[in-house]
Amino acid sequence: MRTQLGSSARGAERVAELLSASRRAVVLTGAGVSVPSGIPDFRTPGKGIWEKVDPMEVAHIDVFRRDPDRFWRFYGERFAMLGGKRPNRAHEIVAELEERGLVRGVITQNIDRLHRRAGSRNVIEVHGSIETCTCPECGARVRIERILELLERGVRTPECETCIRPLKPNVVLFGELLPDRAMADAYALASEADLMLCIGSSLEVYPVASLPGVTLDAGGRIVIVTQGPTPYDREADTKLEGDVVAELEAVLDALD
């Protein structure tokens, strides 16, 4: 199925053709789209976050329940790092594609909220977002700005001011299921899509990794913009394997 193209430029032209011809295109993004913003991904050998720390020891729901101080030692650093990051050109191009009416929405595995900050409107955050934390006792929500303020003051574990219970980030931890509503919306977009643009994802983490297959099974096409192999490479119409910003810039240029 995949179109063999002789150069990255021709590949970008092919993606532009598919976007122009599409009526129900969607974007699926992973950690690679945020790397140019200075956010390391999770699984790249030698560089990924999980190369340095065992996620089961710091990012599992049981760790939060059993030892919230240990949990927040890790997530406090994550919040402090992510809170100051800005969208990069890849996020901006995805937002522009939506603004032009070329894509219907963005499904993202990222919790960094950068798609929304770049201007994307229809964003499905299947792994949640750092935007808020919630009190497990009373359900009160606390915005990231307050969390960052507490962390900067040296608070080890942000707590609910009413219940004095550790706050939980509204992100999906290991040992938790993905939100039903978000996944239902993601599957609906994928099943209706005639084109899925997969950007910066290894497409290996389920259940999100099943979404390109949903589009293919419904008769749509997929395009992959990422470095490194994915399970869908043979089924992709086109794959662009260069720098994610450069590749998306080339696609945007080909559309103009």
Find, among 27, 7, 28, 9, the residue nearest to 19 by Cα. 27
- Tokens 């009190």 map to which residue? 135
Give the C-alpha separation, 205 to 255, whole Å: 31
- From 60, 91, 115, 127, active-site residue: 127
Pair 137, 54: CB distance under 8 Å: no
10 Å CB burial of residue 69 (0-12, 13-18, 19+) is exposed
Find, among 177, 86, 198, 184, the residue nearest to 127 by Cα. 177
Clarify whether 60 is annotated catalytic. Answer: no
Classify residue 136 by its DSSP letter.
T
Among all residues, which ones are annotated catalytic?
127
